[in-house]
Amino acid sequence: MSAHASDTHLEDHAHDHGHHHKETFITKYIFSQDHKMISKQYLITGLIMGVIGIAMSLLFRMQIAWPGESFKTFEVLLGKWAPDGVMDPNIYLALVTIHGTIMVFFVLTQGLSGTFSNLLIPLQIGARDMASGFMNMVSYWLFFVSSIIMVISLFVEAGPAAAGWTIYPPLSALPQAQGGSGLGMTLWLVSMAIFIASSLLGSLNYVVTVINLRTKGMSMTRLPLTIWAFFVTAIIGIVSFPVLLSAALLLIMDRSFGTSFFLSDIFIQGEVLHYQGGSPVLFEHLFWFLGHPEVYIVLLPALGITSEIIATNSRKPIFGYRAMVASILAIAFLSTIVWGHHMFVSGMNPFLGSVFTFTTLLIAIPSAVKAFNYITTLWKGNLQLNPAMLFSIGLVSTFITGGLTGIILGDSALDINVHDTYFVVAHFHLVMGISALYGMFAGIYHWYPKMFGTMMNKNLGYIHFWITAICAYGVFFPMHFVGMAGVPRRYYTNTNFPMFDDLTNVQVVMTVFALIAGAAQLIFAWNFVHSIFYGKKAPQNPWNSNTIEWTTPVEHIHGNWPGAIPEVHRWAYDYSKTNEDGEYVIPGQDFVPQTVPLQENEEELNH
């Protein structure tokens, strides 16, 4: 009821728009409460963090391929951590750690989810803005502060956090164990605590908005799959992020106040520490209780985005809408009960390992359904191969390749020998890293006209995609072999083991591909920035899409629609729908926007 009331209020608002809404530079561009501006802020912050994260990966890839070699680049970028241009082992671990943290949380969680949930939830459900614009603004600024703290932590005297992105204690708890576990780790924890607050505020807002502010006719079963994905992602975030906060708080206690939640019986640097009775395995449980759902927090929005893009560009309805929704829900539910598969050899009871193997392999079922449904959507389509569509197809491809090796890692018995090797690195980079990045790129190419009112250059987009696609496989496919050879991850160099000498050339191949891929992102960066200012002005509905964000004017206005919010009469996927006589429902047009009422002698599907 209250939702309805505020709706009317907002409508009034929109009518006398311009009379008393004098916005200053600060309220419009900095402390904006408008979801469209906030989404751009998320995107740009996320992309800048992405540049840092990817640059780090190139640095440590160079070290792995040419161990101990001197590089001018290292000397310039790493300063005292690369005396004479040779990378220090401590900074290697720090780079690996911060690369993981930044990519998983800052780019693929808030950069991806924050951007597109903010942009699309109000626009696609037909709302004037988020349920709470203020909370939304606070959420972004907390994210910004946490990003700044994370970046500041890179410049700490004793080095940034270097215990791996999973920050397992005792390594992360004891400055005696590692320089990075001093101030660097403190800043890491503070940054993440603020990040979690940001993520929670955002997620609560998304959930409330989707439940309450849908326009007339927009039933849950008419929601585009993007919204389903964002909605469920937000719920998983609300369920699991607080657990990471508790883990971080307990770790802060152990580090600074002498408690023993995670520490026991430690003898380090010639002395016995007082800690008694804690267990690092407890931390692993708490961490992965978030950490595993986090994988799906990263991936589901990307899958939602591709569902929408594949349907639009195939000019076909997404195949099996209800199965797609059901599989999102199934994946979300299962994702919270599989965390133990990261811990098969952690020393936990082997019986637990059996249970987690069972639940983990179950996830393969909804994932397989999704992959098959995507492929069937392409079948007999009229594929418009825009850059966004290419990235979406790329996502399905890497999702399958990376997902399949999950069958091996999720099996407790098989995990024994590939656990923590490069096999794992290859697996999760393909299935969540590259896939989610592809989803993010697809989303950017597709909704760029909505965000900035201009079109990105398609030819640069094509080049960006093809180089990236080839290089992604070039980096991560051979990596499986390195893992099967038994090479542990997070090794500064493999030269201390002659048995790994025959892998040097594989490492060089992977690094060269990685460097080319990194360079290809410059094409994207240039295209992104250049198109904001000099891109061709976008038409209102460039991709002939059904969803209602394309009924808003190209120029952003407060409240999204100049007049009343449109009413929705059908689901989002009436592409190429024909009447019995074989003619399109709207003659001469292969799509029927959601706002078009049911036509005469049109058959409505059960949605």
Binders of other proteins in range 462-481 (CB under 8 A): 462-463, 466-467, 469-470, 473-474, 477-478, 481
Please pick, from the candidates 16, 272, 533, 601, the single residue that binds other proteins as defined by CB under 8 A: 272
Residue 577 as a binder of other proteins (CB under 8 A): the answer is yes
Smallest distance, Å, CB 391 to other proteins? 12
Judged by beta carbon, residue 219 or residue 384, the one nearer other proteins is 384
Smallest distance, Å, CB 105 to other proteins? 19
> What letter does residue 488 receive in the DSSP assignment?
B
Helix (H, G, I), strand (E, B) or coil at 421: strand
- Applying the rule CB under 8 A, the residues between 93 and 132 that interact with other proteins are 93
- Applying the rule CB under 8 A, the residues between 306 and 325 that interact with other proteins are 314-323
Judged by beta carbon, residue 38 or residue 96, the one nearer other proteins is 96
Q: 386 with 432: CB under 8 angstroms?
A: no
Judged by beta carbon, residue 111 or residue 280, the one nearer other proteins is 280
Neighbours of 73 (CB within 10 A): 13
Residue 362 as a binder of other proteins (CB under 8 A): the answer is yes
Task: Identify which range of 99-107, 126-134, 233-241, 276-284 contacts other proteins by CB under 8 A.
Answer: 276-284
The kind and range of the H/E element at 136 are helix 133-152
Residue 257 as a binder of other proteins (CB under 8 A): the answer is no
The pair of three-digit structure tokens given for residue 526, joined into one six-digit string? 């240039």
Judged by beta carbon, residue 136 or residue 392, the one nearer other proteins is 392
> β-strands 267-268, 271-272: how paired?
antiparallel
Smallest distance, Å, CB 141 to other proteins? 33
Residue 86 as a binder of other proteins (CB under 8 A): the answer is no
Please pick, from the candidates 4, 12, 15, 69, the single residue that binds other proteins as defined by CB under 8 A: 69
Angle formed at CA 593 by CA 566 and CA 203, multiple of 5 degrees: 65
Task: Identify which range of 31-39, 45-53, 144-152, 376-384 contacts other proteins by CB under 8 A.
Answer: 376-384
- Applying the rule CB under 8 A, the residues between 10 and 39 that interact with other proteins are none
Q: 314 with 299: CB under 8 angstroms?
A: no
Q: What whole-number distance in Å separates Cα of residue 213 and Cα of residue 6?
A: 9
Q: 209 with 131: CB under 8 angstroms?
A: yes
Residue type, 54: I
Q: What whole-number distance in Å separates Cα of residue 148 and Cα of residue 167?
A: 20
Q: What whole-number distance in Å separates Cα of residue 230 and Cα of residue 535?
A: 29
Residue 497 as a binder of other proteins (CB under 8 A): the answer is yes
Smallest distance, Å, CB 412 to other proteins? 5
Residue 590 as a binder of other proteins (CB under 8 A): the answer is yes
Please pick, from the candidates 54, 130, 200, 263, the single residue that binds other proteins as defined by CB under 8 A: 263
Residue type, 132: S
Q: What whole-number distance in Å separates Cα of residue 295 and Cα of residue 67?
A: 31
Judged by beta carbon, residue 132 or residue 346, the one nearer other proteins is 346
Residue 62 as a binder of other proteins (CB under 8 A): the answer is yes
Pattern 131-170, other proteins, x by CB under 8 A? --------------------------------xx---xxx
Residue 204 as a binder of other proteins (CB under 8 A): the answer is no
- For residue 153, what are the CA distances in angstroms to 147, 286, 432, 599? 10, 24, 26, 60
Residue 416 as a binder of other proteins (CB under 8 A): the answer is yes
Task: Identify which range of 1-9, 24-32, 134-142, 499-507 contacts other proteins by CB under 8 A.
Answer: 499-507
Neighbours of 190 (CB within 10 A): 17
Our CA dihedral for 464, 465, 467, 468, rounded to 10 degrees, sits at: 100
> What letter does residue 578 receive in the DSSP assignment?
B
Q: Report the candidate in 44, 43, 83, 78 with the shortest Cα–Cα distance to residue 58.
A: 78
Please pick, from the candidates 219, 221, 384, 540, the single residue that binds other proteins as defined by CB under 8 A: 384
Smallest distance, Å, CB 361 to other proteins? 5
Sequential DSSP letters for 422-476: HHHHHHHIIIIIIHHHHHHHHHHHHHHHHHHSBPPPHHHHHHHHHHHHHHHHHHH
Judged by beta carbon, residue 19 or residue 72, the one nearer other proteins is 72
Please pick, from the candidates 48, 252, 460, 557, the single residue that binds other proteins as defined by CB under 8 A: 460
The DSSP bridge partners found for residue 488 are: 421
- Applying the rule CB under 8 A, the residues between 390 and 409 that interact with other proteins are 390, 393, 396-397, 400-401, 404-405, 407-408
Smallest distance, Å, CB 577 to other proteins? 5
Residue 482 as a binder of other proteins (CB under 8 A): the answer is yes
Judged by beta carbon, residue 41 or residue 405, the one nearer other proteins is 405
Task: Identify which range of 140-148, 247-255, 278-286, 562-570 contacts other proteins by CB under 8 A.
Answer: 278-286
* Residue 378 exposed, middle or buried by CB count within 10 Å (0-12, 13-18, 19+): middle
Please pick, from the candidates 18, 79, 258, 350, the single residue that binds other proteins as defined by CB under 8 A: 350
Smallest distance, Å, CB 316 to other proteins? 5
Smallest distance, Å, CB 229 to other proteins? 19
Angle formed at CA 441 by CA 438 and CA 442, multiple of 5 degrees: 85
Residue 3 as a binder of other proteins (CB under 8 A): the answer is no
Task: Identify which range of 8-16, 149-157, 230-238, 379-387 contacts other proteins by CB under 8 A.
Answer: 379-387
> What letter does residue 267 receive in the DSSP assignment?
E
The DSSP bridge partners found for residue 584 are: 578
Neighbours of 83 (CB within 10 A): 13
